[in-house]
Chain A
Amino acid sequence: MASSKRMALGLAWVVLAAGCGGDPAAERSDPDSPLAKAERSLQAELEAAVDRLGMASEPGERVGPTRCDDGARHDVTSGYRVRLKLGGDDTAKLLETAADFWRARGRDVRVVSRSGAFPAVFATADPGWTFALQLFPERREAMLSGGTPCLPDPEA
């Protein structure tokens, strides 16, 4: 049931996006480009993290490429975000679950602000992958996000 709702929400979002502009860059991207492959890999890892955390989520959102300043003129990094619903979850346990998930994948992991207003876990991997789970307890929300390494922009 939850997955069908998620699919319906995703479908509605796609319909709206298609009707009111959408993301032309995403539509034009070469699916075989290194950037497109990296985006798929990033999305898969974050979706796997969603499953591992077992939290209700909204459809993921691609974050369009931005320039890697001072890199090659047309190198870019893309991102991906998933908003999660923070119920009565034990935030310390969520942080540990996320940290364990990324450690098991060989990522370097840092947990920050355990007792602060916005606890978070960050993970990195060469040559420039970034992943994070950030908690916003007052809003009862969390965000999983990540970024790709700098790669040639297939649109350039």
Chain B
Amino acid sequence: MSGSGPRAAPGWVRRLWRAPAPRATLVGMLRHQRGQVTAEYVGMLLLVALIVGALVVAGPAQKIAGEAVRAVCQIAGGACTGAPAPPVDREAVARAAADLEGLLAGDPDPTAVAAFFRGLEPAVAEALAHERPELVGNLDGAPIPLRYTANAEAIDDEIARLRAAGVPDSDSRLRKLIELDDPDRRFLLFDPAGDGRAAEVFGDLTSARHVAVVVPGMNNDLNNFTGGDAERVHHQASQFDPDQVATIQWLGYDTPEGASALSSSDAKPGAEALPQFVAGIRAQRAERLHWTVVGHSYGSLVTGMAESGQGLEVDETVLIGSPGVGVNSADELGDGNVWVGLARFDPVGYSEWHGLNPHSRAFDATRFHTGDISGHSSYFNEGSESLRNIGLIAAGYLDEVNVNDGLF
């Protein structure tokens, strides 16, 4: 790849610009319909409350009320609880669980997992996710909504387990779990063992045309997990292609702490897990999507090792604040575009702990402006040129990325 600019954007990326009209939500309506007057908003809220209240009071309409409450909560973008579960064939669920355990014993690839779930009745699959979250939640290739359901259950179960063990709510792990136990948050991965792992999704991963995975660096664990970097990339990229971007904060490996970041040993498990994770989503999204992986700091080493040694192929690789990626040339990172950002006074970005600085000319990646940010921790700052360029790449607006031929 030439250092003078990215490869020509594939035609399909440019066509992606034709986005459908944004979905209408209650919050969106309140925010966008500026011609309304205050009384109309208050009246609308009261009307909704009255309808729901009347349905709840009327006993025979309980089921309808449940659905109405859920629908209102969904369009308002909030929590939905108490909806009645559909009847399900208990024997079928038990059989499905046993069959899945048998399948997993053979270490299936994600496409085999996807095929297994396609053979299940939807109600059975849903029940399986609720009742056996440890089987479904982190299973690459399982349907995306089922993984959300299973991991929500798994978080609930872990909270209950800790409380039953007498752990106080002030405990840092329990406090974090309570924060994550939010019906608006969706996880494709949740594992509380050890330092913990998680992968949080922003946007609609079942329909997005662009998918970006953010791989964080050292000192990240479940206790300080926020998902914020991916949320910012999602919000920024969605400005360019509304409703067509999904991002994932992928804490899918045990990140190093302190001096262990000088070794690549912690990156290896991550580099093996990342392609499998991506393949799990691809198994559920057969259409051609525009894929980006953003590796920050030690996460860029994980990304580089996944691409150079584990066969991960994506359209765009973004390396920021990188201490090296295990190889010395962009050509060794698969066939996609390779982008590099480096802020002023970022000591890690100049360290070359794990190979040639990818921002150097010799590496031959496309360098993009990070603006006037400085240090190692500002690449995802809200309102930064760095975030904007990452968002443009994630949304496929490659020609709009502010590239540079010098430093920064």
Contacts and interface: CB of A to CB of B under 8 A. Distances in A.
Interface of A: 4-5, 8-9, 12-13, 15-17, 19-21, 24-25, 56, 58-59, 63-71, 73-81, 83, 85, 108, 110, 112-113, 116-118, 120, 122, 124, 126, 128, 130-132, 134, 136, 139, 143-147, 150, 155-156
B182 A118 contact: no
B384 to A, nearest CB: 4
B240 A132 contact: no
B223 to A, nearest CB: 9
The 4 A-B pairs at the shortest CB distance, nearest first, are namely: A20-B78, A66-B228, A79-B382, A68-B377
B179 A130 contact: no
B402 A113 contact: yes
Interface in B370-406: 371-378, 380-385, 388, 392, 397, 400, 402
Nearest to A132: B383
Contacts, number: 185
B220 interface: yes
29 contacts: A5-B38, A9-B41, A12-B45, A13-B31, A16-B26, A16-B77, A21-B183, A25-B179, A66-B231, A67-B220, A69-B217, A69-B220, A69-B376, A70-B217, A70-B218, A76-B226, A77-B381, A78-B382, A83-B31, A85-B34, A112-B385, A116-B400, A124-B371, A124-B372, A124-B384, A128-B378, A139-B242, A143-B239, A156-B172
Interface in B19-75: 26-27, 30-32, 34, 36-38, 41-42, 45, 73
Given A16-B78, A70-B376, A118-B240, 16 more contacts: A16-B27, A16-B77, A21-B183, A56-B34, A64-B231, A67-B224, A69-B376, A75-B377, A113-B400, A117-B397, A122-B383, A124-B373, A132-B384, A134-B388, A147-B383, A155-B175
Interface in B351-374: 369, 371-374
B6 interface: no
A122 B378 CA distance: 14
Contacts of B388: 118, 120, 122, 132, 134
Contact of A74 (B216, B224, B298, B382): B224
A21 B184 contact: yes
Nearest to A2: B34
A108 B239 contact: no
Contacts of B299: 69
A21 B182 contact: yes
Contacts of B133: none
Nearest to A81: B382
